[in-house]
Amino acid sequence: MPEKSSNPTPVIEIRNLHKAFGDLEVLKGVDITARRGEVIALIGSSGSGKSTLLRCANLLENAQQGEILFKGEPVTWKGSGHTRHPSDHKQILRIRTNLSMVFQQFNLWAHMSNLQNVMEAPLTVLGRPRAEVEKSARAYLDKVGIGDKCDAYPAQLSGGQQQRAAIARGLCMEPEALLFDEPTSALDPELEQEVIKVIKDLATEGRTMVIVTHDMRLAADVADHVVFLHQGRIEEQGPPDQVFGAPKTERLQGFLSATVPA
């Protein structure tokens, strides 16, 4: 695996991003950089803009202002304000296939087995050979600890197993980065630990990841850089030991006192 930050060109770079839904301004000029091998954790109260930022990075939402660059390549836009949207469909597809998103609610196809869920996108989007994809999918299901559940359907799995299948699905695309949107918040504490272990293992491998999380211990354990969002702006950011050990702003101090177990 590459060393952290060994490549000067970030995998993901966001500059001065603004996003509104109607009159509600959710992001108010946000800058984020994720270099190769870095793990960025986004923390903050509900409604602070964390998930919206992640969805904008993956072009699932259109920002009204600001730049998004993938490996130094800027997204091209048409229009302005609320009518602004990416102008190059092939570019969107290329970026999305290189930024695998893992959602809070798993989003597995109910009518497909675990193995079929993991294989679907590499087959249909990337057009890779079936035998190669199946071998890769089985390896990733093994990697996340559910290789014995290849033929099971989502309804036959626990929430933790479903989320691990969703992570295997993202890995099978061989992405440049993984984007996690509250990957453990829909799980019971016991099942949460299964998923946290997988995420920690991926961080140890040097995977580039951006993680929106309510779990401060996860952020402290896996992140190289923590970003605290408050009402659509970056209130404070830095390495985990600084953000969690010596918070500078009153807002971050108050947030941590309310969220970090004693």
CATH of the domain at 230: 3.40.50.300
What's residue 186's pLDDT? 81
Hunting for tokens 């304000």 — which residue is that? Answer: 81
DSSP 8-state secondary structure symbol assigned to residue 125: T
How far separated are the first and last CA of the chain, in Å rounded?
A: 36
**Which of 174, 190, 217 is where one domain is finished?**
174
Full residue range of the structural domain in which residue 36 is found: 1-98+177-262
> What's residue 185's pLDDT?
85
Same domain, 113 and 229: no
Residues of the chain below pLDDT 50: 1-3, 5
Q: For the chain, what is the largest distance between any 2 Cα atoms, rounded to a whole number of angstroms?
A: 55
pLDDT of residue 1: 40
Residue 189 has a pLDDT of 85
For residue 47, count CB atoms less than 10 angstroms from its CB and return exposed for 0-12, middle for 13-18, buried for 19 or more.
middle
Number of domains in the chain: 2
Domain co-membership, 1 together with 119: no
Of 129, 155, 174, the domain-final residue: 174
Name residue, tokens 């590459």: 2
pLDDT recorded at residue 261: 63
For residues 147 and 56, state if they share a domain. no
Residues 125 and 1 in one domain: no
* pLDDT value of position 259: 83
Q: CB neighbours (10 Å) of residue 249?
A: 12
Q: Extract the tokens encoding 96.
A: 């999305």
Residue type, 93: L
Between helices 114-124 and 159-171, what is the axis angle to 10°?
Answer: 20
Q: Are residues 55 and 152 in the same domain?
A: no
DSSP 2: P
Residue 92 shares a structural domain with residue 221: yes
pLDDT at position 262? 53
What is the model's pTM?
Answer: 0.92
